A = this chain, B = another copy of it.
Amino acid sequence: MVNLGIIGFGRIGKVHAESLTKYISNASLKSVSDPFIGEEDIKYAKSMGVKNIYKDYTKILDDPEIEAVLICSSTDTHSKISIEALRAGKHVFCEKPIDLNIDKIKEVLEEVEKSKLKFQVGFNRRFDHNFRAIKDVVQSGKIGDPHIIKVTSRDPEVPPIEYVKVSGGIFLDMTIHDFDIVRYLSGSEIEEVYAIGNTLIDPAVGKAGDIDTAIITLKLENGTLAVIDNSREAVYGYDQRAEVFGSEGAISIGNDFNSTAVVSTSDGIVSEKPLYFFLERYMQAYVDEMKEFVQAVEEGIEVPVGAMDGLKAVLIGIAAKKSLKERRPIKLSEINL
């Protein structure tokens, strides 16, 4: 049984709390902390059997019974708390991104190496049943050597502009998942990035210095070519698809739906829209990433997504930002000096 604490009890912190308490029998969620925790949240945490509810996360770090912490606080606190937690001897699951600043991520990496503790990054998509299926087929060799990787990733709606402003921009907030998926599916590092983008949905996004529509092409070290297309607003729902095309064939994955119902009328043949919200689509993935983290802690085996994966995805995101700004392809080696 692994004793855990959750630092940051917002939307994603609650998702992990549900997973730990309902689906993972070898996990015990002992404590949660959040500086802004309210009455409702306290009640909710208690109903799940959480013993300690703090405002101050250091109380979790000071608790010798706690073996591992989940860092679900705001992005700007990730690297700092990660280092503190590691120094306190806790295994860490950290939500993505580790930081928007490469140097700070590298400090975390150093601490991880020194500590010999587990450090997992929250790239939940790697645990999704569909992405697992595509990865399995690629690894099986059924489609031969990968030549082209395509990822479609479109959100159902533009996030609040206040969030956009602090998000680090579309590439570090949203595409970061897709960059990780390209690395995951290819098993190769990215060599060069080229990004084009535009503000076609909401001018406020443009005013906030960001774009809402983008296509990013990637040259991989192993010669594979990849492309990601992003939109902040697919009116038909959360659109998460991928395809790997190779020398012996191709594999593609599509969206998930509430039901398989197909209605045929004089207007056409109509099926359901994809699941609208990332929490619906990736609920199973959130449970499974937590299961594997707890297992890694308990059994001392390697985490499925490490700190280096967290660094790499941010590097690619920064290269994409630079590419968009300078209107030219950017080599990863230009970023990661």
Interface residues on A, range: 35 or more
**Which residues of B have CB within 8 Å of A129?**
258-259
A23 on the interface (CB 8 Å rule)? Answer: yes
Q: From known contacts A262-B251, A272-B268, infer whether A217 and B198 are also in contact, taking CB-CB under 8 Å.
A: no
A214 on the interface (CB 8 Å rule)? Answer: yes
A135-164 contacts to B, CB under 8 A, are 137, 142-143, 145, 147-148, 150, 154
A322 on the interface (CB 8 Å rule)? Answer: no
A130 on the interface (CB 8 Å rule)? Answer: yes
A223 on the interface (CB 8 Å rule)? Answer: yes
**Which residues of B have CB within 8 Å of A145?**
200
Q: Is the CB of B143 within 8 A of A265?
A: yes
Q: From known contacts A213-B147, A234-B245, A247-B235, infer whether A261 and B130 are also in contact, taking CB-CB under 8 Å.
A: yes
Q: Which of A53-61, A181-189, A224-232 contacts B (4 or more CB under 8 A)?
A: A224-232
Report Cα–Cα, A235/B258, bound state, in Å: 26
Report Cα–Cα, A266/B327, bound state, in Å: 34
A236 on the interface (CB 8 Å rule)? Answer: yes
Q: Is the CB of A225 within 8 A of B235?
A: no
Report Cα–Cα, A224/B215, bound state, in Å: 10
**Which residues of B have CB within 8 Å of A234?**
245, 250, 264
Q: Is the CB of A236 within 8 A of B269?
A: yes
Which residue of B has the minimal Cβ distance to A273?
B268
Q: Is the CB of B250 within 8 A of A133?
A: no
Which residue of B has the minimal Cβ distance to A25?
B47
Which residue of B has the minimal Cβ distance to A236?
B264
A241-261 contacts to B, CB under 8 A, are 245, 247-256, 258-261
A325 on the interface (CB 8 Å rule)? Answer: no
A306 on the interface (CB 8 Å rule)? Answer: no
A104 on the interface (CB 8 Å rule)? Answer: no
What are 16 A-B contacts defined by CB distance under 8 Å? A22-B22, A129-B259, A137-B263, A194-B194, A196-B225, A215-B225, A215-B227, A225-B229, A236-B269, A248-B265, A248-B266, A250-B264, A254-B262, A268-B273, A269-B271, A329-B329
A residues within 8 Å of B by Cβ? 22-23, 25, 47, 129-130, 132-134, 137, 142-143, 145, 147-148, 150, 154, 192, 194, 196-198, 200-201, 213-215, 217, 219, 223-227, 229, 231, 233-236, 239, 245, 247-256, 258-273, 327-329
Contacts beyond the supplied A147-B231, A215-B225: 7 A-B pairs with Cβ under 8 Å:
A22-B22, A201-B247, A229-B245, A231-B245, A233-B247, A234-B264, A235-B248
